[in-house]
Amino acid sequence: MQTKVRIARQFSQAAHCYDQLAEVQWQIGVDAVSQVTPTSGMLLDIGSGTGRISALLADKSGQVIGLDLAEGMARFASRTQPNKVGFLVGDADNLPFADNVFDYVFSCMALQWCQPISQAFSEVARVMKPGAKGLLAMMVQGSLQELHRCWQAVGQPAHVNHFLSLETLEQAAKQVGLSWQVQTRLYQTWHTSLRDALHSIKDIGAGVVLNPTRSPLSKAVIQAVERRYFENYQQQGLVPVSYQVAFMEIQK
């Protein structure tokens, strides 16, 4: 099945439980919104999910449009945030809008799903009005690093996604004529087992691996990874999942 169809399907299926489970994503979203410059104009929220962050953005702009690849997410958001925001189904890589229409473009924890990132950045730049600003928050290199290292230590490719470096993102932004300023912040969640750690990713719909390998996930491999995970990262009986998040302030 095509990767985007799988991403949309998994997030759609998670829509009803996303807000209860995605606590760290809420914290990241609140931090991202705090960096948004208020505008009286139109704001686009790309990858709006359940719409809880879009609703916060409504207090900082004239009008908000939330757009998400997952129909189930857009439907859930329309039902739970009916007054403040208009929600649409659409793809960040092919935005369903004319050129130069938005005063502000926002996205939080969504653009790491877009490959190559240059396509999504080019679309962001295209729909921004000249002089418009934006805030793009996304996972970057360093995210899920404990899991990557443990899998590597047992000679296996990790069964979680890789994330882009800041250099790659900066280059992509500059290539489409966006000015760029970035800050990063590390967020961590703590878990009682490898299984619990992986479920914290999968249960919110974020379990699709973008470049999957065919290596089998045997019980022996899982046990070896788990042993490493606890030996190297355990604190008070818990192991971390790291989210290295870049907050990119852009301007066209």
Ligand X SMILES: C[S@@+](CC[C@H](N)C(=O)[O-])C[C@H]1O[C@@H](n2cnc3c(N)ncnc32)[C@H](O)[C@@H]1O
Point out which residues bind ligand X (CB under 6 A).
7, 11, 25, 29, 46-49, 52-53, 68-70, 73, 91-93, 108-110, 113-114, 206
Q: Which residue's Cβ has the minimum distance to ligand X?
A: 49
Q: Which is nearer to ligand X, 205 or 233 (CB)?
A: 205
What is the C-alpha end-to-end distance of the chain, expressed in Å? 36
Give the separation between CA 155 and CA 158, rounded to whole angstroms.
Answer: 9
Query: What separation in angstroms does the CA of 118 have from each of 54, 92, 164, 249?
Result: 24, 11, 12, 16
**Nearest distance from residue 92's CB to ligand X, in Å?**
4
DSSP symbol at 94? B
**Nearest distance from residue 215's CB to ligand X, in Å?**
25
Q: Which is nearer to ligand X, 49 or 134 (CB)?
A: 49
Q: Which is nearer to ligand X, 124 or 173 (CB)?
A: 124
**Nearest distance from residue 13's CB to ligand X, in Å?**
11
For residue 116, cis peptide bond before it (omega within 30 degrees of 0): yes
Give the separation between CA 104 and CA 47, rounded to whole angstroms.
Answer: 15
**Nearest distance from residue 234's CB to ligand X, in Å?**
27
Q: Largest alpha-carbon pair distance within the chain?
A: 57
Q: What would the two tokens of residue 50 be? A: 């359940």
Q: Which is nearer to ligand X, 85 or 158 (CB)?
A: 85
**Nearest distance from residue 66's CB to ligand X, in Å?**
8
CA angle, 125 then 206 then 240, to 5°: 110
Q: Which is nearer to ligand X, 127 or 206 (CB)?
A: 206
